Amino acid sequence: MKTIASVSFTALLVACSDGGAAPASNDQGTQSETAQKNGETAATVEAGSNGTLNIYSARHYDSDKLMYEAFEEQSGIRVRFREAGANQLLETMRAEGENSPADLIIASDAGALWRFKDAGLTQPLPEGEFEQLIPERLVEPDRQWVGLARRIRGVAYDPERISPDQVDEWQDLADPSLEGEICVRSSTNIYNLSLMAEMVEQWGAEEAQNWANAVVANMARTPQGGDTDQVEAVAAGLCSIAITNHYYWVRMTQSGSDATREAAAATQIAFPSFGDGEGIHVNITGVAMAANAQNTDEAIQFVEYLLSSDGQHRLVDETKEIPVIEDVTWPQGLDAIPEFEDSDTPLDTFGERQSEAQRIYDEAGWN
């Protein structure tokens, strides 16, 4: 099996949390060792290398490295990758300018992908078979990115203190009866920004502002930590409702830690709708073509691989995201989540309304 060549960080990076990725505390050392072993540095990753694909990814999962290796074996194309938070990668590409070696950008939120597009760091994807494989909603209108996996923002709640009808709609979280019952992470997190962006699109800015004000009043504590921390807080009795992405909760149910599994077992997961049959908030992990990509044929081959049965399994089996291809078996543990129906809100809206979403949170005092 070929060795994947990873890229050491030599460009100036701006430290900023992306959210949603698994901890990457050991990734940098592993990548540097791999690069040194192969006699490679960031300077050797040259745009236009024959049979090479350069990926900038905001994901940090060991399974992704195996996915790259599987694609290498199948295609004969050598994969090189750089992993960091989405904002770090964006700043790196800005600094690299036209000399950026990036061919593809992978990020875990439509709002994050929009930031690359807004910065002029992407280009329209060439036509490919992938368009026939996924719903139209998962292809950005200007073909700047395509969705690879689905992720749902919902709530985990204590069934002994909260009934299902109290978390049936997002509006329910604004009820004064829930004062002191909600745990959630910072408003600056991209997942919360995308959620609020859809609320603005669905309800209008005034109603979205009222909701944010009421949720702040219902918080059990100052926003802190990640989604897993919120679920653990419910299990510890600090609150009774945690806003979380579905896969954090599913991964907790299958954790090797007894305490983590018990925390998940003390809660149930629900997917609030936007009311009036408007569906639920479903986001994506997606991929974009870099503006200065040279290896476009190789890039499209990789996108189409990720949208194959094998590619989908390798992409989501560890993360517990939801496949976007029909008839692909869902990862173990997803049978525990309730049935859902996506809203029809265009995913690029999550980025376009991002600034407005942050303004609403700021005015509500949601730090």
- The amino acid at residue 6 is S
| 191 has binding-site annotation | no
Tell me the CA distances in angstroms from 224 to 148, 189, 220, 267, one per residue in order.
29, 11, 11, 19
Two domains, one topology: 5-150+283-330 and 152-280+341-364: yes
Which class does domain 152-280+341-364 fall in? alpha beta
Using an 8 Å Cβ cutoff, are 125 and 300 in contact?
Answer: yes
DSSP tally for the chain: helices H, then strands E: 13, 11
Q: For a pLDDT cut of 90, what percent of the chain falls above it? A: 81
pLDDT at residue 291, rounded to an integer: 98
The overall longest dimension of the chain from CA atoms, in Å, is: 62
CA dihedral 155, 140, 55, 70 (to 10 degrees): 80
Amino acid 50: pLDDT: 54
148: left (phi over 0), alpha (psi -120 to 50) or beta: alpha
135-191 pLDDT tens trace: 999 999 999 999 999 999 999 999 999 999 999 999 999 999 999 999 999 999 999
Taking the whole predicted model, whether its pTM rises above 0.85 is answered as yes
- In the block, which residue shows the tokens 């569906």? 279
Q: For residue 267, what is the DSSP state?
A: -
320 touches 251 (CB < 8 A): yes
Confirm or deny that 305 is annotated as ligand binding: no
Q: Which of 271, 276, 239 is nearest to 167 (CA)?
A: 271
DSSP letter for each residue of 252-263: HHT-S-HHHHHH
- d(CA 152, CA 156) in angstroms, rounded, equals 12
- The C-alpha atoms of residue 181 and residue 81 are separated, in whole angstroms, by 42
Q: Which residues pair with 283 in a beta bridge?
A: 151
**Rounded Cα distance, 287 and 363, in Å:** 33
Q: Binding site annotation covers 61?
A: no
Q: What's the burial of 44, exposed, middle or buried (CB within 10 Å: 0-12/13-18/19+)? A: middle
Query: Residue for token digits 């309800």?
Result: 203
pLDDT tens-digit readout, 20-35 = 333 333 333 333 333 3
pLDDT for the residue numbered 11: 34
Residues in the chain predicted with pLDDT less than 50, given as ranges, are 1-49
Beta-bridge mates of residue 123: 289
Boundaries of every domain in the chain: 5-150+283-330, 152-280+341-364
Answer whether CATH 3.60.20.10 is correct for domain 5-150+283-330.
Answer: no
